[in-house]
Structures are given as C-alpha cells and as structure tokens.
C-alpha cells in the first residue's frame, strides 16, 4: 500500500477518539446532561487520560509486535502514535486546568496538596512533550545516536503514568494492575532485546 496514503489514513484513525468525546460533549450540552455521568468535567479528564494511556501502551507495543509479524508499516506509524498520545495527554491537562481548576492558578497549590498525583502526571507529560517535540526527522538527524537514547524516555514516562494512575485509583486497583502487568511485560521484552544486541 502507498506509504503516504497509509500514514494519512492512520492520522484519521487517531482522531476518532476525539470525535467520540466531542459527540458525548455535544450530547451533554444539547440534550442529555447525564451522557457523561454525574460529573461530566471529571469524566472528561478521565476519558482523555485513558485515551492517552492506551496510545502510550500502543507505542510500547509497536516494536514487539513488529518483530513478530514483520510489518514495517507498523514501525512507521509509531511516530503518529506517540504524537497522538501527547495530544490526548495535552487535552487531559487542558480539561483538568479548564474544568477542574477553572484556570484559577492561585488554587493550584491547594489542589496539589489534595491531588499530589498531578505532579507525577505532569512529569510524565513533560517527558511526552520532549518525545513529541523531537519525533521529527530534523531532530533525529541533529541528535544522531543520542536520539535513540533520548527516546528511551518513553519507558520512565510509562512508569510515571502508572504511578499517577495507582495514586488516582484509591480503592479498586484491578484496572491499574492490568495496565502495569502489560507495561512490565513490554519493558522486560525491551530489556531482553537490548541485552541480546549488546
Ligand atoms: C499533564 C499533567 C497531568 C495532569 C494535571 C493530570 C491530572 C489528572 C487528574 C486530575 C485525574 C483525575 C483524577 C480523578 O479521577 O479523580 C487524572 C487521572 C488520570 N490520568 Fe492524568 N494528569 C496528567 C498527566 C497524565 C498523563 C501524561 C497521562 C497518560 C499518558 C495521564 C493519564 C491518566 C489516567 C489514565 C487517569 C485515570 C483515569 C481513570 O481513572 O479513568 N495523566 N489525571
């Protein structure tokens, strides 16, 4: 299949969750205030966070899956997955800042005491920003070998996101334990590959 066509097609797929969330918001605004549950603002923050997490897992899955099914096209889509992950994490942050904090930055200190897991999420978000910002060809050329080393940041970022989630969960840890098991397996796979090649 044509490379450019495939990449464009893939970008549209990555925008689908956004249209789903947009449709739900329209539903809440125009005819069904309960479409996003009893606390729509909280649900929106959670939704964007969950989508960003799925995309982060997808980024981590690309290399092991590609070594099994030998699909090079998949490797080429990793950049789009990473940038989309950052995009949804940004929407997650924006919905937190706009809907939960209501842009009242003077209340941030108090909110951080109430929800300290935000600091961990923020650190992960910064790492995703660095990864998305240097995912272009020009940065890869300029950084050379260091680019690969820098892009290993995706692993500590994933670990920080899991800590962020554990902290949010408070009582039911089933979901976060499942995500942790998946990420741990992917990390182990990565370390094994690295140990083999060195
Ligand atoms: C950029 C700074 C970040 C802020 C300010 C932030 C803030 C929050 C807040 C306020 C919640 C909701 C807690 C609740 O339900 O009571 C949350 C949950 C969550 N966040 Fe973040 N977060 C950040 C970064 C991230 C990143 C980078 C990711 C993933 C890539 C992420 C993934 C999640 C997930 C998966 C949840 C739980 C959703 C659920 O329970 O359904 N967050 N975050």
Q: What is the pLDDT of residue 1?
A: 58
Q: What is the pLDDT of residue 67?
A: 80
What whole-number distance in Å separates Cα of residue 105 and Cα of residue 48?
21
How crowded is residue 67: how many other Cβ atoms within 10 Å of its Cβ?
Answer: 12
What whole-number distance in Å separates Cα of residue 96 and Cα of residue 39?
13
What whole-number distance in Å separates Cα of residue 43 and Cα of residue 198?
45
What whole-number distance in Å separates Cα of residue 41 and Cα of residue 178?
26
Q: What is the pLDDT of residue 198?
A: 67
Full residue range of the structural domain in which residue 192 is found: 39-197
Among residues 161, 155, 1, which one has the least CA distance to residue 76? 1
Q: What is the pLDDT of residue 2?
A: 67
pLDDT tens by residue, 119-165 = 999 999 999 999 999 999 999 999 999 999 999 999 999 999 999 99
The residue to mutate among 59, 168, 174, having the most atoms of ligand 1 within 8 angstroms of its beta carbon, is: 168
Q: Indicate the pTM of the whole model.
A: 0.93
Domain membership flag for residue 152 = yes
Minimum CA distance residue for ligand 1 atom 24: 121
- Number of domains composing the chain: 1
Q: Ligand 1 centre and the CA of 93: distance in Å?
A: 8
Domain membership flag for residue 25 = no
Domain membership flag for residue 60 = yes
Domain membership flag for residue 13 = no
Domain membership flag for residue 133 = yes
Coil, strand, or helix at residue 13?
helix
| Residue numbers in the chain where pLDDT is lower than 70 | 1-3, 198
């Amino acid at each position: 299949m044509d490379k450019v066509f495939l990449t464009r097609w893939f970008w549209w797929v990555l925008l689908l969750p956004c249209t789903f969330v947009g449709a739900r918001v329209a539903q809440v605004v125009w005819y069904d205030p309960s479409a996003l549950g009893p606390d729509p603002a909280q649900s929106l923050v959670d939704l964007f966070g969950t989508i960003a997490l799925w995309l982060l897992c997808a980024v981590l899955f690309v290399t092991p899956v590609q070594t099994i099914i030998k699909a090079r096209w998949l490797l080429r889509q990793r950049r789009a997955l990473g940038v989309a992950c950052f995009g949804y994490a940004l929407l997650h942050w924006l919905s937190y800042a706009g809907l939960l904090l209501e842009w009242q930055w003077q209340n941030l200190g108090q909110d951080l005491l109430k929800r300290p897991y935000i600091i961990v999420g923020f650190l992960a978000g910064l790492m995703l920003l660095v990864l998305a910002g240097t995912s272009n060809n020009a940065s890869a050329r300029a950084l050379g070998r260091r680019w690969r080393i820098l892009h290993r940041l995706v692993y500590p970022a994933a670990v920080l996101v899991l800590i962020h989630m554990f902290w949010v969960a408070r009582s039911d840890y089933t979901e976060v334990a499942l995500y942790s098991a998946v990420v741990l397996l992917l990390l182990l796979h990565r370390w094994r590959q690295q140990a083999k090649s060195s």
